[in-house]
Every structure is written in C-alpha cells, then in structure tokens.
C-alpha cells in the first residue's frame, strides 16, 4: 500500500481548535468517511475567539510547555467526534 492510500475517498475537513473551547486557533485537518460530521467551521486569523500568537509570543502553541499540552485535543472536540460516531452507529441499527 502506498503511503496515504488509506486516505483516498475520505473527505477532509478543516477546523480550528478555538471553535471547541481552546484558547489557541490551531487549524487542524481531519479526514473522515462520515457523510456529515458537522464540524464547526474554522475561524480566521485575527478573530476574537482565540488568542493571537504573533511570532515569538508566549501565547499560542509555541508558548505552551510540554508535548502533552501541545498535542492535547480540546475536550469539546473529542466529545463532538464521539457523539458524531455514536449517531452514525445508531443509523445503522
Ligand atoms: Zn478562532
């Protein structure tokens, strides 16, 4: 299997963590075969929903200490994904 072949046919959705309660914008791509995952639309640079993180600033991803903090997924996003998957499963019953 060629690298990335498993992504073929999957839809890509872009979202930003701040839409799920994080203070950082952190744009994130998610691939899913779910027909309608209903992710919140991403915001734009400069929107008030996240802390602005200019180069060298101590806010934002670069200012957070530790890999765990940097790779943490906002709880609200986790819950949304779980809810969406459970909804999908219930459609199949
Ligand atoms: Zn934002």
Please state the domain extents for the chain.
5-92
pLDDT digits (tens, 9 = 90+) for 10-68: 889 999 999 999 998 999 999 998 888 999 999 999 999 998 766 655 555 555 566 56
Average pLDDT over residues 66-73: 67
48 phi and psi angles, rounded to 5 deg: -75, -5
Q: Give the H/E segment covering residue 81.
A: helix 75-92
The pLDDT, as a whole number, for residue 5 is 76
Q: If you measure from the C-alpha of residue 80 to the centroid of ligand 1, how many angstroms do you get, rounded to a whole number?
A: 17
The CA 22 to ligand 1 mean position distance, Å, reads 9
Ligand 1 centroid to Cα of residue 54, in Å, is: 14
Long-range CB pairs of 8-11 (<8 Å, 24+ gap) are: 9/33
The DSSP H or E segment spanning 69 is: helix 67-71
């Amino acid at each position: 299997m060629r690298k990335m072949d498993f992504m073929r046919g999957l839809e890509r959705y872009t979202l930003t963590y701040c839409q799920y309660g994080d203070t950082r914008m952190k744009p994130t791509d998610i691939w899913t075969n779910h027909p309608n995952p209903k992710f919140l639309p991403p915001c734009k640079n400069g929107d008030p929903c996240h802390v602005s993180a200019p180069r060298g600033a101590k806010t934002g991803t670069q200012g957070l200490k530790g890999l765990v903090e940097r790779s943490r997924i906002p709880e609200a996003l986790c819950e949304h994904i779980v809810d969406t998957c459970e909804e999908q499963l219930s459609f199949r019953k």
